[in-house]
Structure 1
Amino acid sequence: MKKYWLTGLVLAAGLGMASAADAQIKFGVAGPITGPNASFGAQLTNGVGQAVEDFNKAGGILGQKIELEQGDDVSDPKQGVSVANKFVGDGVHFVVGHFNSGVTIPASEVYADNDVLFVTPSATNPKVTDRKLWDAFRTCGRDDQQGKLWADLALGDLKDKKIAIVHDKTPYGQGLADAARGFMNAGGKKEVLYEGVNVGEKDYSAIVSKIKAAGADYLMWGGLHTEGGLIVRQMRDQGMKTIMISGDGITDNEFASIGGPGVEGTLMSFGPEPRDNPAAKDVVAEFKAKGYDPEGYTLYSYAAMQIIKQAIEKANSTDPHKVADVMHSGMAFKTVLG
């Protein structure tokens, strides 16, 4: 699979506090631990879990060991809010998550109102941080970055090709598709098809037929790997050679498993491969020794934990507002991402 790298990453994070009476610092990691996007949830939980193990072996943070709680939001906004409320009730003040933008945004309101700092390693919708919540940070890039990249490709190398745009109607998928569409249209190129589909369906033959009828050479897909893989497979079943352009929502090996051989040639935008970063060498080796390949957002999640630790130490406090001040100060953090 060919990858078009994003040139910039938004690197920042947030954390929370434990009271003086707490024997341990309570962290939460939230994402789709079950359901169709469970592979992404595994990336988050594995990244955070390894960081907790490494930090605790080295003495914890400010002499306190980390206690980790997992929250399964099943990629559902309502479940995300429930997870956030449970974290608050359990005394969790530092959260890495959520995975989906559509879950992160409503959950963030709970965190902001209850002195919880959160770092999302994967929610790329600009609204996550553009609302200027005091406690909202991320270690990943944004949809407007990816959308611009897609549009530049369409206006450059693919200027003579027909482009269809399909999204999954979620804040992430539609946000990404709309960003690409906006930049592309502003550059003078019009898509041959713009449609939304429903998440969770198995038969996408209707939209595939529309893509075929439009004569699209390339399909910009705003969505995740499950639906994206099915659409590619069903395009090939109809004898189509249309090439998919997608983003960080397909960064899991399951995309190829679902889509089959037809995914070959897919174009994907993502940040520079973190597994190739020299700063990640030792941590990658730790993961591989356990038989786990830290793909996708695994190292982004580990980096979020590193930033949390360093910010607490810089503030010499676990007060979330003091730590947020460190986050917003422009301090440089040393992480597996660089």
Structure 2
Amino acid sequence: MSEAIRIAIGAPLSGNAAALGAEMKQAIELAVEEQNADGGIAGFPIMVEGADDQGKVETGRQVADDFCNRPDLLGVVGHYNSNVTIAAAEIYAAHDLPMITPIASDTALTERSLPNVFRFTNRDDQTGAAISRHLYDTMGKRRAVLVETETMYGHSIGIAFSRAFLWLGGRIAERRTVREGSRDFDPLVASLRADFDLLFYGGSFEGAFILRAMRRAGLHQLFASGDGCWDAVNFLEPAGETATLGEGVLVLSATPEVGRVAGSSDFAARYATLFGPVGNYAVNSYDSVRVLIAAIRDAITETKGNPSRRDVLTAMRKLRFKGIAYSDPVQWDEKGDNLAVVTALNVVENGRFRQVAEIPRTQGGLIDAASRRPRQFLSR
């Protein structure tokens, strides 16, 4: 083994998601710094290097190629965007390089059952079903307008929500797509003709502006969304007080709010001292690299000091890890999905998200045959 254990981070450090990628990288580096202060792994220091994938598929592929060509790298934490992660995963798989993604949620990532891929966060089909059931059963919503961005994430969470909502007996009254980066949604809102009781948005950066356009137009219906809006910088700040007007908002997240799992508040305080308040999935990023570190430690023990990438993969598959993101210990199903995940549902109060519900994976997952209700098709 070399004089240090080397791992890598692939994240968008420029472009629309730069702030999100920076938080991911900072949380990972904090975990590594703390582990090194505690002796590293079996006495070896951990060296971590980051690369900017720009949130672009081609750049992500190049980053993956570069990482794979480094034989001393034992694992990658990344990426953030689902399309980038899916593309990079195939390259890592060809080189037996373990990849754990803290955030990428598109269902397709783990459906291929690549042996090197581990998803720490929840899947869109799980979270989409969980929020749909809450909207239908708990809040009594029946007719939705669905607005999604022309992105992989927007399509994925939009499909997940609509399929579950329809199975439960709801209706999709209208479906619209918007371009990522758009800001003027007054014409879109003015064109809505359907009778609806909620608007569901699938996307990341446009949600606050759609919400503001709704309230300007006098539309008071509930605004609900996937976790693309569970973001202080890109949703809470631009939404401002409109997030509490009318029926307010319901935003899902794939991790409980800070403070609900032991250790998460202490981590958030340490993070805030260095970088400012947690705004997104820092807790998931922190735990993801700790999972990778634990697997490398187990592989070192098993091989008596000289693990290969395949040894780390074997250790990762067997791992049970109790972290600060989820109450249950992290362990993987046969696809590489995390069995400990939950879906949290949040409203906004006093400029902050407040969790109002938490649905375990076993309850919030795919709509099973026993719970299906008569399907209502898209109205015309």
Q: Same fold (TM over 0.5)?
A: yes
Q: CA offset at residue 281 of structure 1?
A: 4.1
Q: Which residue of 2 aligns with 1:194?
A: 175
Q: CA offset at residue 183 of structure 1?
A: 1.4
Q: Which residue of 1 aligns with 2:226?
A: 247
Q: CA 1:262/1:282 → structure 2, altered by over 3 Å: closer, same or farther?
A: closer
- Aligned counterparts of 1:174 and 1:298: Cα–Cα separation in 2: 24
Q: Which residue of 1 aligns with 2:309?
A: 320
- Aligned counterparts of 2:275 and 2:116: Cα–Cα separation in 1: 35
- Aligned counterparts of 2:87 and 2:134: Cα–Cα separation in 1: 33
1:87 paired to 2:67:
yes
- Aligned counterparts of 2:82 and 2:113: Cα–Cα separation in 1: 15
Q: Which residue of 1 aligns with 2:84?
A: 103
Q: Which residue of 2 aligns with 1:263?
A: 243
1:39 paired to 2:19:
yes
Q: Which has the higher contact order (CA 8 A, sep 6+)?
A: 1
Q: CA offset at residue 155 of structure 1?
A: 2.4
- Aligned counterparts of 2:188 and 2:52: Cα–Cα separation in 1: 31
SS at match of 1:141: coil
Q: CA offset at residue 309 of structure 1?
A: 1.4
Q: Deviations over 1:6-44 (max 9, x none)?
A: xxxxxxxxxxxxxx2x32222211222122212211221
Q: Which moved more, 1:144-153 or 1:44-53?
A: 144-153
Q: CA offset at residue 204 of structure 1?
A: 2.8
- Aligned counterparts of 1:204 and 1:95: Cα–Cα separation in 2: 39
Q: Which residue of 2 aligns with 1:11?
A: none
Q: CA offset at residue 153 of structure 1?
A: 2.5
Q: Paired residues, what number?
A: 315
Q: Percent identical across equivalent pairs?
A: 30
Query: Pairwise CA RMSD of aligned residues?
Result: 1.9
Structure 2 gaps of 5+ residues are 328-380
Q: Which residue of 1 aligns with 2:195?
A: 215
Q: CA 1:232/1:326 → structure 2, altered by over 3 Å: closer, same or farther?
A: same
Q: Which residue of 2 aligns with 1:12?
A: none
| Preserved CA contact (<8 Å) 2:77 2:101 | yes
Within-5 A mapping of 1:280-319 = 280-316=264-300, 317=303, 318-319=307-308
| Preserved CA contact (<8 Å) 1:166 1:220 | yes
| Preserved CA contact (<8 Å) 1:44 1:298 | yes
- Aligned counterparts of 1:154 and 1:277: Cα–Cα separation in 2: 25
Within-5 A mapping of 1:167-182 = 167-182=148-163
| Preserved CA contact (<8 Å) 2:232 2:280 | no
Q: CA offset at residue 104 of structure 1?
A: 0.7
After TM superposition, the score normalised by the length of structure 1 is 0.87
After TM superposition, the score normalised by the length of structure 2 is 0.78
Q: Deviations over 1:115-151 (max 9, x none)?
A: 2111111111121112100110021111111111122
1:55 paired to 2:55:
no
